[in-house]
Amino acid sequence: MLVALAQSNERGQVCYQELVDLISSKRSSSFKRAIANGQRALPQDGLLDEPGLGVYKRFVRYVAYEILPREVDRHWYFYRHRSCPPPVFMASVTLAQIIVFLCYGARLNKWVLQTYHPEYMKSPLVYHPGHRARAWRFLTYMFMHVGLEQLGFNALLQLMIGVPLEMVHGLLRISLLYLAGVLAGSLTVSITDMRAPVVGGSGGVYALCSAHLANVVMNWAGMRCPYKLLRMVLALVCMSSEVGRAVWLRFSPPLPASGPQPSFMAHLAGAVVGVSMGLTILRSYEARLRDQCGWWVVLLAYGTFLLFAIFWNIFAYDLLGAHIPPPP
């Protein structure tokens, strides 16, 4: 890397700050460009040729090829990766969702279509339009699920996609993306489907999945994950099937219910957040988000949406005379 830096300079020299950045594992945009331009000085063999790796290092190599589109970034991540701190956010969220589901399942003695139980919707975690003033519900609904099948689908995607993304991009960025998708999901439902409640973490899950899929498409030639076309088709089919099932439960519930069933709009809102905010985050590996012009544009758009949704929830329901079902 020192040779690559020197060859990228007209005088064949490395300045003091570049040396400090290299030793302290910091990469500015100019440093990254120098490494990319002098890539011939880096090891030419890929990480897949690395012999004698243990189980954990093999998993780190798999994550590098699964998430990052450039070989120089894969090398950088592989050799500087540390197991501490571990990817605790996605694992903790998934564990909390499972515990909450098990508690309500044992209490209600119901494991499928729990929202059809009248006591289930009385939970202080569920978002209900009649309880809009309880602002925490716009986030805590992510711990509640329609049934075992929705929980299993979300938990599987959070562990298979969320954990590798958190290992590469860090807890702060991935938690921001996930929670932004969850919040956008409930706020979108409050605007577009004003009578419906919301349960499930699909807003955050779809934000992660759509961001990852968009990153793969944008860097198709550089991605080295195996069977990427087949896996993308399967992911799109599964995600579309889940949205279709949510639409069916919303408008044609299989059982009589006391009120409207949870909305499907949170899925779509999460996908929009993933393609916009998430793609900006994933394309800025090892670069400061505040230095990215696109990041400020996306952040401004998301902030404008939040302000609009807040005013909508305060004034629109009364002005439009929306008939909200009585909260349980």
Catalytic residues: 202, 267
* Residue that the structure tokens 């699964």 belong to: 66
CA triple 192-177-211, angle to 5 deg:
85
CA triple 183-188-192, angle to 5 deg:
160
3-state secondary structure of 4: helix
* Residue that the structure tokens 């897949």 belong to: 48
Q: Which stretches within the chain are classed as H helix?
A: 2-7, 16-23, 29-37, 55-67, 71-80, 88-108, 137-140, 148-157, 163-169, 171-192, 202-218, 228-251, 265-273, 279-282, 293-311, 317-320
